[in-house]
Amino acid sequence: MVPFRVTFRAGISIFEQVVYAATKAMISGQLRPGDPFPSVRALSKELKINPNTAHKIVAHLVHEGLLETRPGIGTVVAVLPDSTRKERTALLGHEIEELVVEAKRLGIELAEMLGSITAHWKHLSGEASSTKSGIKATDGGSEKR
């Protein structure tokens, strides 16, 4: 069984979607260091994806340091290495720029964007949200709850 959920969407590569879902599960604490990660075969079978794609996903997560292979045990979630705040923030530079460009394109104000980011941060951290039923995020002018 795959310990995280993936809802496949058209227009985005399966590889990117599964890597994102797995990374999100690790960051949110759904998968903790030392937890077993599905084998290539299990990932391929459960998600109904090509075994080569499943192999690329696992190899990528190992290369990124999110997974490690242990002889006799298999692939497990790795303990994230310590790094400076500046190094960690620099890794997101490109993604932050894309987010800002898209927000400006949609006419989203900075305060609204910061509120949405804060709500998502709290949701993924398991903190109580200020809204009644979860995340209140802006998506081109519509609210999601």
* Domain residue ranges of the chain, discontinuous segments joined by +: 14-77, 85-144
What local confidence, expressed as pLDDT, does residue 98 receive?
86
What local confidence, expressed as pLDDT, does residue 145 receive?
34
> One-letter amino acid identity for 73?
I
Task: Read off the pLDDT of residues 38-89 as tens digits, 9 standing for 90 and up.
Answer: 999 999 999 999 999 999 999 999 999 999 999 999 999 999 766 566 766 7
What local confidence, expressed as pLDDT, does residue 141 receive?
41
What local confidence, expressed as pLDDT, does residue 24 receive?
84
> One-letter amino acid identity for 5?
R
What local confidence, expressed as pLDDT, does residue 87 receive?
62
What local confidence, expressed as pLDDT, does residue 133 receive?
40
The CATH label, of 1.10.1740.10, 1.10.10.10, 3.30.565.10, 3.40.190.10, for the domain at 14-77 is 1.10.10.10
What local confidence, expressed as pLDDT, does residue 137 receive?
42
- DSSP, res 64: T
Top pLDDT among 131 and 112 is at: 112
Nearest-10 crossing angle of helices 14-27, 51-63: 40
DSSP H helical ranges for 1-145: 14-27, 40-47, 51-63, 85-91, 93-106, 110-125
Q: Is the model's pLDDT at 32 over the cut of 80?
A: yes
pTM (whole model) above 0.85: no
Among candidates 16, 29, 13, 15, which has minimal Cα distance to 4? 29
Could you give the CA distance from residue 72 to residue 24 in angstroms, rounded to a whole number? Answer: 27
What local confidence, expressed as pLDDT, does residue 83 receive?
59
What local confidence, expressed as pLDDT, does residue 144 receive?
38
What local confidence, expressed as pLDDT, does residue 29 receive?
80
Could you give the CA distance from residue 47 to residue 128 in angstroms, rounded to a whole number? Answer: 31
Top pLDDT among 36 and 29 is at: 36
